[in-house]
Amino acid sequence: MSTAVPVAPDGTTYDVDLMIIGAGPTGLYATYYSGFRELRVALLDALPEVGGQVAALYPEKALYDVAGFPSVRGQELVEALHAQARSADPLMLLGRTAVGLVENEDGVEVTTDTGEIVRAGAVLVTAGIGSFTPRELPVGSEYLDRGLRYFVPRLAELADQDVLVVGGGDSALDWALGLEEIARSVTLVHRRPQFRAHERSVAQLHDSSVEVLTPYEVAKVSGEDRIEEVVIEARDGESRTLAVQAVVAALGFIADLGPIDGWGLEQDRRHILVDRTMRTNRRRVFAAGDLAHYEGKVKLISIGFGEAALAVNHITALVRPGSALTPGHSSDL
């Protein structure tokens, strides 16, 4: 079983075939598949635990589009992927950020923010949307952690409360629907009548007990020590006062690639461009998952798995010349 390697002194060097940056679902599957192709692999992530955005933000969210699972909670999927990835016996470099990248004829050297150096035949970037910070609610910021929150990693934390969810995207609807059976009441407010969420979620929302108020925006948040009331206002000036103890602001995220942004990788709207082999414009740097982009791209976890396998197969042929591009069927091994 692989566990995270403690931070080593500056200049400590590790040698592997492939370095994977990002330990979300795509990175975990890429780690497993690298082991399947008999590559020595290092897995790095800035977070201290694996799972990426799914584990950090949506561990209790039900996922319905992962092959083999009619429905699976985010944390359950992460745990299964982690168990699968451990079969590759990876070098686990958690709690580190990849800072510098030097590419040469024989491989790459990646320097971490802790001063460690990873020498590899190639790099696979599976960093999702990179680091992310929530878009702030325009009013009521002084109530952060006093009723106002931007994430709901544990739905039970809002049990028996009157909850207001603000937003019209997938996260807002997911949290509103997830809290329906846990909170005392759930109200969802969005500034537009239309939602930017999956059609199935929108249909579930309208069939649920969640009170949907559109088009409204939050105008005022008040309370003594914690949130007690929220005033929402329509464009025509009509206002309503809601008695709530919790506000979940799901207004999206501001993504930041961090140091990777300076690696000279071609981008399109903060997504890394790749070819049909998942290779970037740099010979030994590949990308897969939500961060990777090509014409016709669809962002799904299952797509990320396929991209990871595609990338690892082409990386195997690159770092071990003469290797077959495809390994055959796993059932034949």
Question: What pLDDT digit, counting tens, does each position of 112-163 carry?
Answer: 999 999 999 999 999 887 666 788 999 999 999 999 999 888 899 999 999 9
Nearest in space to 90 (alpha carbons), one of 39, 128, 52: 39
pLDDT at 281: 97
Euclidean distance between CA atoms 325 and 194, whole angstroms: 46
Segment 230-256 mean pLDDT = 92
Band (pLDDT 50/70/90 cuts) for residue 54 is confident
Q: What is the pLDDT of residues 55-110, one digit of tens each?
A: 877 788 888 889 999 999 999 999 999 999 999 999 999 989 999 999 998 999 99
| pTM of the predicted structure, to 2 decimals | 0.82
Q: What is the pLDDT of residues 7-49, one digit of tens each?
A: 888 889 999 999 999 999 999 999 999 999 999 999 999 888 8
Flag whether pLDDT at 333 surpasses 70.
no
Over the stretch 174-187, which tens digit does the pLDDT of each residue have? 999 999 999 999 99
Say what the pLDDT of residue 90 is: 97
Q: 13: number of CA atoms within 13 Å, CB side?
A: 6
**Average pLDDT over every residue of 321-326:** 87
Decide if pLDDT at 1 tops 60: no
For the chain, give the mean pLDDT. Answer: 92
Find the farthest-apart pair of alpha carbons in the chain and give their distance in angstroms, rounded: 71
Structure tokens, 86? 């451990």
Q: What angle do CA 121, 287, 267 make, to 5 degrees?
A: 120
Alpha helices by DSSP H, 168-275: 170-179, 199-206
Q: Is the dihedral of CA 189, 194, 198, 203 positive or negative?
A: positive
Cα–Cα dist 282/125, whole Å = 12
Let me know: does 277 contact 311? Beta carbons within 8 Å: yes
Q: For position 269, what pLDDT does the model report? A: 84
pLDDT of the residue at 2:
66
pLDDT higher than threshold 60 for residue 331: no
pLDDT band at 50 (very low <50, low <70, confident <90, very high): very high
Q: What share of the chain is helix, strand, coil (3-state, %, to 5)?
A: 25, 30, 45
Q: How does pLDDT run across 264-311, given as a tens digit for each residue?
A: 999 998 899 999 999 999 999 999 999 999 999 999 999 999 999 999
The tokens describing 265, both together, are: 């990788």
Using the structure block, give the residue that is written with the tokens 């990175």: 27
Question: What pLDDT does 159 receive?
Answer: 96
Q: For residue 305, what is the enclosing H or E element?
A: helix 301-319
- Residue 271 CB burial class (10 angstroms; 0-12, 13-18, ≥19): buried
- Amino acid 23: pLDDT: 95
